[in-house]
Amino acid sequence: MEIRHLKTFKTIVEIGGFTRAADYLGYAQSTVTSHIQAIEQEIRKPLFYRLGKKMMLTEAGKHLLPYATEMIELYDKARHIPENDQEPSGNLMIGASESLTVYRLPSILHEYKSKYPQVTVTLKSSTCWQLRDELRQGKIDIAFLLDEERKEEDLHIEKLVDEPIVFIFPNGHPAGNTDFDHLTFSANETFLYTEHGCSYRDFFEEYLHKQGVLADHTMEFWSVEAIKQCVMCGLGVSLLPMITTRSEINEQKLEGIMVKDALFSTQMVYHKNKWLSPAMTAFTEIVRSQAEKWEASVKEARLAF
């Protein structure tokens, strides 16, 4: 089993067929077939079966795919090991939730690119649950999650800073003049949710359920920024991380109430089996350095409420 065989296998899965993979890789179709046969002979199991015109993965193929991805990735990383006197190079794939992409990562990325220009950084925004899956599949190197604290057997999870969350209201809303302990919602309230896969969305729904609030009027958004704009124009109320709403609340464009005892944090996550390349190691060091400054900012914001 060779790396080129595994690359062929992975390409077939991603592109959807032997013929397409051959065209993409510049191989004859017979070469693609021989690569797959070489793997099948070694593991003694078929990798694909045909369903109509489609090639589908067998159970053995499904089990092999994450290992193939990891081996290809390690091979690529090994090819980019720098000499002692060289800077880190290669590729770094980073995933993050929208909130952290906008409000936590820019200064980190700026410092990193300034220090290590030879590293190609790709940033992908997604939900917490999708990012965990992509870490396990080897599609991203590091994920940044705004999530409740949890343990995962296969993931290294490093808490960077606690992140308060707040209910936000349009100016003049009756709830804006109360506090968290006395917060109530009317029967006709419209609740603006982030998309599924976001932990504070789950918290929001659970909170309303515990309070006996019938959330009959709801809207779902893919964008935190869109939610804020809709709250400001009086469409409804929402629950968002404080880092995303602090400016608007300070500028009195929104009213906010901090949620008590909500344990969310910004977390840096990577797979426990991940090889920490020089590029990745340098990135994590900058993250930790930047995160040391966040605590004071969060403390100041808490005191403002």
Q: Domains, the chain, ranges and CATH?
A: 3-79 (1.10.10.10), 90-162+265-304 (3.40.190.10), 165-261 (3.40.190.10)
Residue type, 51: L
pLDDT of residue 150: 85
Query: pLDDT digit of tens for each residue in the chain (305 aa)?
Result: 788 999 999 988 888 888 888 888 888 989 989 999 999 999 898 988 887 777 788 999 898 988 888 888 888 767 766 555 567 888 899 999 889 999 999 999 999 999 999 999 999 988 888 899 888 888 899 999 999 888 888 899 999 999 999 999 999 887 777 778 888 887 788 999 988 878 888 888 888 888 888 877 888 888 899 999 999 999 999 999 999 999 998 899 998 888 888 789 999 999 988 888 889 999 999 999 999 889 888 888 777 77
pLDDT of residue 156: 93
pLDDT of residue 186: 79
Residue type, 253: K
Chain-centre distance for alpha carbon 61: 26
pLDDT of residue 85: 52
